[in-house]
Structure 1
Amino acid sequence: MKFDLDIIVVTHDSGAVLQVFLDSVPDFVSVIVADNASTDDTVAVARAAGAKVVEIGENVGYGCACNIGAAASDATFLMFANPDMRFEPGAIEAFVAAAAAFPNAAFNPRIYSGSRRRFRKWSRLLPASQCWRGSPPDGDCVIPVLHGSCIFMRHDHFEMVGGFDPRIFLFHEDDDLSVRLREAGVELRLAAGAMVDHAEGNSSLRSSRSGRIKGEAMGRSLVYVMNKHRLRLDLPAERHRAWLKLLSPHVLLNGARREKLLGFLHGLSGGPMDQIGK
């Protein structure tokens, strides 16, 4: 069995989790690792497992690295997946079956973090009327927005909308892609038969520095996507909420959380997206 599918996984010092991810990928699926200048054993782990590795040489961010990985693929289908994730048995086959049933759609799997279900009900880029109400669905259906940890789609749909916005370093790139896919007439759907487990936040080693980088990226990305889609952003209210969170003991006394919120506050000032993390 061989599926016309490439899994694109973006890495940055992801050696601690990458092997578990690769072990969960069936032998009949190809993997392309787009590496954002890892300094650990990420590249060695990927090559030892037989993955195709694209060494980017610098940290260009998630969406831009996805675009680079996709450019190295000539497969009909692409899947963008985080390295801190693993596929449950039959997940890939369920994606392919869903794509055959709904050829004009992009898909999320059912995502779990251990026993906890993860499902995106809303996005800052969507009006309330388009957001999900009620419990997460258990069957195949249209969903409002894609969760970026695992997206399955046709290569030609990805190219049709221009891929991920390279100006978004990290965070909200999945919201932006979802909106553009919807505007292009591509449905966003849940492939309920495909299940994955996502160990959230472990794609790279955690540290105060990485927390600061992620927080700043989150703030800058929020400002950028809201401006891009001509939506109102109440910056004073965003700052007020962030300061309230910062002053809570579980954040104030935790270095990584504290740095992430300080980074977020700094990121709300805007500025060039391509300087984050360099």
Structure 2
Amino acid sequence: MIADTVTAIVVTHDSAEVLPACLDALASEGVRIIVVDNASTDDSRDIAQAKGARVIANVLNQGYGRANNCGIAAADTPFVLIVNPDLEIAPGAVGELLAAAQRYPEAGMLAPRIVEPSGRIFLQPRSLLSPPHLNRAGAMAIPEGDACLPFLSGACLLVKREVFLALGGFDPSIFLFYEDDDLCRRMRDAGHGLVHVHAAQARHGRGRSSAPSVLRRFRARWHLAWSERYVARKYGLPEPGRAVVWLNMAKAFGYGLAFKREKMFAHLGSVAGAQAWARGETALAQEGLEDAAETAP
């Protein structure tokens, strides 16, 4: 039975708008569901409980990777299915992923075809952590069948739980961004394949996991800038230079003059994250997590 094989892990943070459809799609696949709620202020926890999911309630927002680590540690099935709350797994997709895991026993992680609202198939063609020969310009060709890829999207991943735990899970120093790239890199380095499964499909409303706001945009770009520098240093890669910081400052100033607050705050976040990294500050300190308890009693 699928329920004895797979547990879905859904990390939420003010995700009430999209969560019901996500959980309904998972329930129709017969998987167990654990929702790890990152201190939502909306009805996310109540919705998850009403849908029959097990809820782990974090007192503070732990970030995406750290919250997934918590949920996966609480699961007891051989596989876990990491799912963004704004993603709807298509009928039969979990079975297709499991069948592919049997066909490719060397795979540590498998992902479905992820279809965006525009109908575009999302693939990650490049990454800071890719070998240079893989970072070619242009869009990645969409595989016509199953394919082993250098990276898979963290929006939906079927993961062998034993392998995930042996690798230490998502890097707990990262609050947001690059945690999935880092995990994919460590999976490959450890000899585990990353397989894109053609017959499995999911629909993804990108960027809808949490309600948008100017301050959230600032915060997200802060972490993007910090995490980019963190993983670059972790793997001995060149870090973004001061020119990038000055460019973001100039863009923030320009958008401010044009009264485009959202874009202004985004670039200010990039500047602030880079400056925090230069001062030796951590992402966890920024979020007040270094000494904080993770979950509610």
Give the TM-score normalised by structure 1. 0.94
Paired residue for 2:51? 49
- CA distance in structure 2 between the aligned counterparts of 1:229 and 1:172, rounded to whole angstroms: 12
Cα contact 1:84–1:199 (8 A) shared by 2: yes
Residues 1:253 and 1:193: Cα distance change in structure 2 (over 3 Å): farther
The one-letter code of the counterpart of 1:97 is A
1:148 CA drift (Å): 1.1
The one-letter code of the counterpart of 2:210 is S
1:174 CA drift (Å): 0.6
Matched position secondary structure for 2:2: coil
Q: In structure 2, which of residues 204, 214, 217 is the aligned counterpart of residue 211 of structure 1?
A: 217
Give the TM-score normalised by structure 2. 0.88
1:136 CA drift (Å): 2.1
Paired residue for 1:107? 110
Q: In structure 1, which of residues 64, 67, 70 is the aligned counterpart of residue 66 of structure 2?
A: 64
- CA distance in structure 2 between the aligned counterparts of 1:6 and 1:88, rounded to whole angstroms: 16
Paired residue for 2:12? 11
Matched, 1:2 2:12: no
Paired residue for 1:140? 146
Matched position secondary structure for 1:217: helix
Structure 1: runs of 5+ lacking an equivalent: none
Residues 1:276 and 1:13: Cα distance change in structure 2 (over 3 Å): farther
The one-letter code of the counterpart of 1:234 is P
- CA distance in structure 2 between the aligned counterparts of 1:83 and 1:167, rounded to whole angstroms: 23
Residues 1:131 and 1:189: Cα distance change in structure 2 (over 3 Å): farther
CA deviations 1:89-110 (Å, max 9, x no partner) are 1111111111111122111211
- CA distance in structure 1 between the aligned counterparts of 2:256 and 2:112, rounded to whole angstroms: 32
1:66 CA drift (Å): 0.5
Residues 1:216 and 1:17: Cα distance change in structure 2 (over 3 Å): same
Cα contact 2:15–2:209 (8 A) shared by 1: yes
1:166 CA drift (Å): 0.5
Matched position secondary structure for 1:212: helix
The one-letter code of the counterpart of 1:124 is L
1:243 CA drift (Å): 4.5
Residues 1:172 and 1:111: Cα distance change in structure 2 (over 3 Å): same
- Between 173-182 and 1-10, the greater mean CA deviation after superposition: 1-10
Residues 1:213 and 1:187: Cα distance change in structure 2 (over 3 Å): same
Cα contact 1:216–1:276 (8 A) shared by 2: no
Matched position secondary structure for 1:79: strand
Paired residue for 1:78? 80
Residues 1:250 and 1:9: Cα distance change in structure 2 (over 3 Å): farther
1:245 CA drift (Å): 5.1
The one-letter code of the counterpart of 1:186 is H
- Between 84-93 and 40-49, the greater mean CA deviation after superposition: 84-93
Matched position secondary structure for 2:11: strand
- CA distance in structure 1 between the aligned counterparts of 2:257 and 2:146, rounded to whole angstroms: 38
Cα contact 2:65–2:174 (8 A) shared by 1: yes
Cα contact 1:223–1:233 (8 A) shared by 2: yes
Residues 1:195 and 1:237: Cα distance change in structure 2 (over 3 Å): farther
Residues 1:92 and 1:273: Cα distance change in structure 2 (over 3 Å): same
The alignment yields a C-alpha RMSD, in angstroms, of 2.0
- Between 121-130 and 185-194, the greater mean CA deviation after superposition: 121-130
- CA distance in structure 2 between the aligned counterparts of 1:259 and 1:135, rounded to whole angstroms: 34
Q: In structure 2, which of residues 34, 39, 42 is the aligned counterpart of residue 40 of structure 1?
A: 42
Matched position secondary structure for 1:24: helix
Cα contact 2:251–2:264 (8 A) shared by 1: no
How many residues align? The count is: 278
Paired residue for 1:22? 23
1:260 CA drift (Å): 2.0
Paired residue for 1:156? 162
Cα contact 1:63–1:170 (8 A) shared by 2: yes
- Percent sequence identity over aligned pairs: 36
Matched position secondary structure for 1:182: helix
The one-letter code of the counterpart of 2:132 is A
Q: In structure 1, which of residues 162, 181, 187 is the aligned counterpart of residue 193 of structure 2?
A: 187
Matched position secondary structure for 1:139: coil
The one-letter code of the counterpart of 1:21 is C
Structure 2: runs of 5+ lacking an equivalent: 289-297
The one-letter code of the counterpart of 1:272 is T
Cα contact 2:35–2:55 (8 A) shared by 1: yes
